[in-house]
Amino acid sequence: MSLWERTLAGLFRLAEALALLMGLFILLVILAQVLGRYLGFVVPSALEVAGFATAGLIFLGLAPTLRAGGHIRVGLLLGRLPPGARRVAEAVALGLGLLGSLYATWQSWLRVVESYHFGDLAPGLLPLPLWLPQSFLALGLSFFTLALLEAGWKALKGGKG
């Protein structure tokens, strides 16, 4: 395994770990909210921060899911194509996905910088700086873009993307 492959594997494990932490955070916030109802206290902005963490979990999970082959594919079509055409179809699909992901990644990092620059805060009771949850989304998209690049490269080399 090359240094590049080991680096990507480490980055994708980091994405998995961060997604796991987001899931645990959601669990803890919801548990605190449930306990709060029984004990008579309110967890401020619980739904809001759980929503932010859910978005983080989803976007951080994109790259590891792609690497594990968990995203929906059009297997019925690809399975019927001859190997050469299948490789071209996968490369085109991954290339288009990569272009879309690059654009989304760029735009999401621009939103992070903009929110940080203007000091945007979440509208709930907890004045959370918006750049913080936006960073998890942008980071997840960055990992996904790398995963698409890796999958496209493997598809072009003749392996499974």
The answer to whether 137 and 60 are in contact (CB under 8 A) is no
In a domain, 72, yes or no: yes
> What confidence tens digit (pLDDT) does each residue in 21-34 have?
999 999 999 999 99
Contact 133, 55 (CB under 8 A): yes
Q: Which residues are CB-neighbours of 115 under 8 A, at least 6 positions away?
A: 129, 130, 131, 134
User: How many domains is the chain partitioned into structurally?
Assistant: 1
Residue 161 lies in a domain: no
Please, what is the Cα angle at 35 between 27 and 41, to 5 degrees?
A: 120
Q: What does pLDDT average to over the chain? A: 91
Task: Report which of 60, 59, 30 is spatially closest to residue 43, judged by C-alpha positions.
Answer: 30
Residue 71 pLDDT exceeds 90: no
**Torsion, CA 15, CA 16, CA 20, CA 22, rounded to 10:** 20
Please give the Cα distance from 43 to 29 (Å, whole number). Answer: 8
Q: Residue 158 above 80 pLDDT?
A: no
Percent of the chain beyond pLDDT 90? 68
Residue 57 has pLDDT above 90, yes or no: yes
The pLDDT assigned to 141 comes to 98
Direct distance between the N- and C-terminal alpha carbons of the chain, in angstroms, rounded to an integer? 17
Asked, for residue 122, whether it belongs to a domain, the answer is yes
Q: Under 8 Å CB-to-CB from 23, ≥6 apart: which residues?
A: 53, 57
Q: What is the rounded CA–CA span in Å between residue 137 and residue 60?
A: 7
b vs e for 69-78, b when ≥16 Cβ sit within 10 Å of the residue's Cβ?
A: eeeeeeeeee
Give the structural domain span for 57: 3-156
160 pLDDT higher than 70: no
Whole-number CA gyration radius for the chain: 19
Flag whether 63 is in a domain.
yes
